[in-house]
Structure 1
Amino acid sequence: MKMFTFRSIRTQIMVSTTLLILGLIGAIVTVWVKSEDTLYRQEKLNDAKSISNILSYTYSNELSEENWSQIRLNIDLILRENEDFVYVFVSDNRQDNQIAAASPNEHQNQYIPDIVPLNITKNALKSSEKARISETFILKDIYFADKLRIKRGEPIIEVASDIRTLAGKKLGVLRIGMSLQKVDRAVANAVNQALTVGSVGLAVGWLCAYILARQLSDPVQRLQSSVAQIAGGDLQHRADIDNRTDEIGALATSFNEMSATLQISFSKLQKTLDSFERFVPDKFVSVIAPQGIENIEVGMASTQKMTILFCDIRGYTSMSEAMAPMEIFTFLNDYLACMGKAIDDAGGFIDKYIGDAIMALFDDDSTDCAVKAAILMLEALDKFNYERCLQHEQSPTETRLPHISVGIGIHRGTVVMGTVGFTSRIDSTVIGDAVNIASRIEGLTKQYNCNILITEAVVNSLYNPELLSLRLVDESVKVKGKDQAISIYEVLI
């Protein structure tokens, strides 16, 4: 498996130092915790075994004489004075190991207590000269003197000792359950102490490693940053390595000379790209040339489902005949800028200008943006006409400018976006039956005296048709070149 590597010298030094210190801390914590855990467990176990042996010897006479009241008082006192003790049971071997004395006393007269697993009870009742030690957990909450002594699931150690006569006859079994809470707290304290010491060591080691790494890596990182800035387009940037005279300084000088040459070349290239983007929309390029415009070739195409919008000025021919060529040129630029902004604001892009006509495309899943663009275009046109009228009022000697009205047709369907032409002359285009239908729908706006006409395909693709005011203009109209009739709707404003 390939090892994961770090590019930065500083990172390598820092990571290596950190891993080394963390390894040492981990080893220290492990050994420390294991040692503390063993020490505290052994201490608690010795205490329990000592108390168990003493009590077993003490209760021998009491159990022989069946002095149960005295035994019960004693084990209650033991539980009160030792907070680590969870329970104390004394079972009578003569009564089939029935618990004759218990604290807490609700377990008295039971044969198998329900606070520890069955196998623990079986192990405790076995006959043996030695104490039986079992580590287990509590099966339910235990209360003593109306206070919670231990919660369900917490670990305990049980020590069981036989109660025998001087002659060695087994009379019963003494069982003591001891909580490991203090052991866990002691282990936790040990962990905290180890982590504190380790953290101090890590901080000191990390600081020393950082100082060393910085001395070695700073010049290289600054040069790397300069490379990244130039790669990101900042061709005016120059590397500064504190006037170093070593190999890094020489590398920085060569780098700056290279970046100056690149700046001149890329400046010319950027101007060319900026000009190209004005002729071919960026969204169009991303579809037909996803790998970059430098890879564009004739015949590259992609099938897309899009919404097509056509907009045309009514009476443009007669209007243009009354204007000088330069006036027409100026008027068209002002008009197209006004309408183009509305299309951009709605999320569409202009595919081409056909004289005064505009063909725009919308690649969203719905057609709401296209309809929104048409509404914005009419609003922009009203403002355009108002400004032209205001301009005439301020200069009454000028020829009265005609009022501009347009027709907009919108259709949705599958089109082919691609490049056509030959080796030395390529053009982008959108071809498809949907384009022809959109153009024909725009032509019908004059016939039906509507500003905006949309097809049924557009209506069916709207996400929020309730936000629009639509009127069915013709439910069965045949456009030129199509045998199948379609429904058209007017968008009321």
Structure 2
Amino acid sequence: MKVFAFRSIHTQFMTATTLLIVGLVGSIVWVWANTESNLYRQQQQSQAKSLVKLSAYALGNELSEENWGQIRVDLDLLMRENQDFLYILVSDARKKNQILASSPSDFQNQYIPDIVPVEVTNAALKSRHSHAVETFVLRDIKFLGHVRAKRGERFIEVSSDIKLVSGETIGTLRIGMSSQQINRAVVYAINQAVLVGFVGLAVSLVCAYILAKRLSDPVQRLQVSAARIAAGDLQHRAEINLSDEIGDLAKSFNEMSAALQASFSKLHKTLESFERFVPDKFLAVIAPEGIENIQVGVSATRTMTILFCDIRNYSSMAEQMTPFETFSFLNDFLECMGWPIEKSGGFIDKYIGDAIMALFDDEATDCALRAAILMQGTLSLFNEERIEKGLPAIAVGIGIHRGEVVMGTVGFNSRIDSTVVGDVVNLASRVEGLTKQYDCQILVTESVVNSLYHPESFSLRLVDKSVKVKGKEEAIAIYEPSYKHLKV
């Protein structure tokens, strides 16, 4: 039976594994990108602090001599050489931190530049060491006609005291450095992390697919095997040679299949044996829902032909034989009589000592007459073998009658038997008894003759047109049939 794709083990495993891998790879990429970003920022700030510190040291003599022209030239040169510099400010602590040199020159003679928040300026002027802070631009910054930063752009300002050789602080150097290089490095790091993540995800998904297939394929093969066994192929075995739990499951499955096959084989043999006791045509009536549902009192009405066969003088024969010889003789005799009945389409209802009761449910009685004639023919061959062994020949009488009977089960819960009930059965038995009186091998009633499809195939001799049998008020006609062209 097909199921939704999402319910398959393979799909569930792949879905769970994919979500796990995506979450894991996503976490790794995020941590990697965040770490790289912080690392780049720390490196740039460290480098910027070193640069500002060296520059402040170099400006110490110029500032002490108030060589403002040279300082401005040096600042412009630094701005040209470093595209990431947004501005450079030099304030003089001796003149209330007035900016006396800057690049761009817009900020000269200001005390608090209008490009950064006031708190950034205060922090830079109060610091006595190299100081770095991330902030944003309050307005556009241009240098030599080119925009170095736009309003609102994030950047880093690094500041350092300008000291004399004696250690006296005489000013402050402030450099604004663009974060674009950091951003580019961070984007590159993120791209690298994402690329590695995608590669890792692809490799992981391939591995997960292989693993899921390795896990689901045996299960699917077990499912196919179970379906084949359910369809009746009990000889099928799951060919899964693994050393894990699935292999153990397949081994247990095959052991179960072998046990089912053995049980089914035993059950099949039991059914075959049961059918020897109860013919198929009986089972169709008494057990329409299966023999496991047989109940007492199940019955059906049928119009059938009843054949009785009995050994003449059996009692005197049995007295001269041991029980074992009698048992062996009966089996040989019943086998001899059984196959003509089966070959002609009839079935044996029961054995009554040495007597045989057979039924024919054809619409015509031709098969029953043919069976009776064949039985007498096979009996002749049977007697020839007995005479060769020095044993006496035997004779049988066969009586046949046709009419309506009831087929069904009788008994009680612990002992049930199948049987045919009706006056037709008794009459067929009485007709068989008349074979001794009229010295005939086969006698049939008028109802049998009237039901023949091909009466011309038989030579029918009227034995008695009006004979009364025991237990019957109405007289019946009886005939003796023969079939000269029938070969055994």
- TM-score of the superposed pair, with normalisation by structure 2: 0.52
Cross-structure match for 2:412: 422
Cross-structure match for 1:477: 467
Report the Cα distance in structure 2 between the residues aligned to 1:312 and 1:232, rounded to whole angstroms: 47
Cross-structure match for 1:355: 353
Tell me the secondary structure at the aligned position of residue 471 of structure 2.
coil
Cross-structure match for 1:297: 295
Cross-structure match for 2:239: 240
Tell me the secondary structure at the aligned position of residue 237 of structure 2.
coil
Report the Cα distance in structure 2 between the residues aligned to 1:248 and 1:458, rounded to whole angstroms: 68
Cross-structure match for 2:164: none
1:171-200 residue CA offsets vs partner (Å, 9 max, x unmatched): xxxxxxxxxxxxxxxxxxxxxxxxxxxxxx
Q: Give the alignment partner of residue 463 of structure 1, picking from 425, 428, 453.
A: 453
Q: Give the alignment partner of residue 375 of structure 1, picking from 373, 376, 387.
A: 373
Q: CA deviation at 1:422?
A: 1.0
Cross-structure match for 1:311: 309
Amino acid at match of 2:299: A
Q: CA deviation at 1:262?
A: 1.9
Amino acid at match of 1:235: L
Tell me the secondary structure at the aligned position of residue 416 of structure 1.
strand
Q: CA deviation at 1:230?
A: 3.3
Amino acid at match of 1:357: A
1:105-145 residue CA offsets vs partner (Å, 9 max, x unmatched): xxxxxxxxxxxxxxxxxxxxxxxxxxxxxxxxxxxxxxxxx
Amino acid at match of 2:375: M
* 1:256 corresponds to 2:246: no
1:296-338 residue CA offsets vs partner (Å, 9 max, x unmatched): 1111111111110000011111111111111111000000011
Cross-structure match for 1:156: none
Tell me the secondary structure at the aligned position of residue 351 of structure 1.
strand
Report the Cα distance in structure 1 between the residues aligned to 2:3 and 2:436, rounded to whole angstroms: 68
Cross-structure match for 1:331: 329
Cross-structure match for 1:197: none
1:56-107 residue CA offsets vs partner (Å, 9 max, x unmatched): xxxxxxxxxxxxxxxxxxxxxxxxxxxxxxxxxxxxxxxxxxxxxxxxxxxx
Cross-structure match for 1:440: 430
Cross-structure match for 1:180: none
Report the Cα distance in structure 1 between the residues aligned to 2:466 and 2:253, rounded to whole angstroms: 70
Tell me the secondary structure at the aligned position of residue 462 of structure 2.
strand
Cross-structure match for 2:42: none
Amino acid at match of 2:229: I
1:423-452 residue CA offsets vs partner (Å, 9 max, x unmatched): 111111110011011001101111111111
In structure 1, list runs of 5 or more residues that go unmatched: 10-214, 393-399
Q: 1:251 and 1:338, CA in 2 relative to 1: closer, same or farther beyond 3 A?
A: same
Tell me the secondary structure at the aligned position of residue 342 of structure 1.
helix
Q: CA deviation at 1:253?
A: 4.2
Cross-structure match for 2:25: none
Tell me the secondary structure at the aligned position of residue 402 of structure 2.
strand
Amino acid at match of 2:343: D
Q: Do the aligned residues in 1 keep the contact of 2:346 with 2:358 (CA within 8 Å)?
A: yes
Pairing of 1:6-21 with structure 2 (within 5 A): none
Report the Cα distance in structure 2 between the residues aligned to 1:224 and 1:414, rounded to whole angstroms: 52
Q: CA deviation at 1:366?
A: 1.0
Larger radius of gyration: 2
Amino acid at match of 1:457: S
Report the Cα distance in structure 2 between the residues aligned to 1:228 and 1:342, rounded to whole angstroms: 43
Tell me the secondary structure at the aligned position of residue 475 of structure 1.
strand
Q: 1:251 and 1:463, CA in 2 relative to 1: closer, same or farther beyond 3 A?
A: farther
Amino acid at match of 2:471: G
Cross-structure match for 2:340: 342
Q: Give the alignment partner of residue 405 of structure 1, picking from 375, 392, 395.
A: 395
* 1:366 corresponds to 2:356: no
The alignment yields a C-alpha RMSD, in angstroms, of 2.9
In structure 2, list runs of 5 or more residues that go unmatched: 6-213, 484-488
Tell me the secondary structure at the aligned position of residue 331 of structure 2.
helix
Amino acid at match of 2:332: D
Amino acid at match of 2:254: N
Report the Cα distance in structure 1 between the residues aligned to 2:228 and 2:392, rounded to whole angstroms: 53
Report the Cα distance in structure 2 between the residues aligned to 1:447 and 1:218, rounded to whole angstroms: 79
Tell me the secondary structure at the aligned position of residue 420 of structure 2.
strand
Tell me the secondary structure at the aligned position of residue 360 of structure 1.
strand
Report the Cα distance in structure 2 between the residues aligned to 1:222 and 1:455, rounded to whole angstroms: 65
Q: Give the alignment partner of residue 270 of structure 2, picking from 269, 272, 275.
A: 272
Q: CA deviation at 1:8?
A: 13
Tell me the secondary structure at the aligned position of residue 411 of structure 2.
strand
Q: 1:415 and 1:251, CA in 2 relative to 1: closer, same or farther beyond 3 A?
A: same
Q: CA deviation at 1:486?
A: 1.4
Q: CA deviation at 1:233?
A: 4.9
Tell me the secondary structure at the aligned position of residue 237 of structure 1.
coil
Amino acid at match of 1:337: E
Q: CA deviation at 1:249?
A: 6.5
Q: 1:358 and 1:287, CA in 2 relative to 1: closer, same or farther beyond 3 A?
A: same
Report the Cα distance in structure 1 between the residues aligned to 2:225 and 2:338, rounded to whole angstroms: 40
Tell me the secondary structure at the aligned position of residue 410 of structure 2.
strand
Report the Cα distance in structure 2 between the residues aligned to 1:485 and 1:224, rounded to whole angstroms: 70
Q: Give the alignment partner of residue 442 of structure 2, picking from 452, 466, 469.
A: 452
Tell me the secondary structure at the aligned position of residue 461 of structure 2.
strand
Cross-structure match for 1:389: 387
Q: CA deviation at 1:219?
A: 7.6
Report the Cα distance in structure 2 between the residues aligned to 1:387 and 1:224, rounded to whole angstroms: 60
Q: Give the alignment partner of residue 279 of structure 2, picking from 254, 278, 281.
A: 281
Q: CA deviation at 1:268?
A: 3.9
Report the Cα distance in structure 2 between the residues aligned to 1:312 and 1:345, rounded to whole angstroms: 19
Q: 1:256 and 1:342, CA in 2 relative to 1: closer, same or farther beyond 3 A?
A: same
Q: 1:315 and 1:293, CA in 2 relative to 1: closer, same or farther beyond 3 A?
A: same
Q: CA deviation at 1:282?
A: 1.9
Give aligned-pair identity as a percent: 71
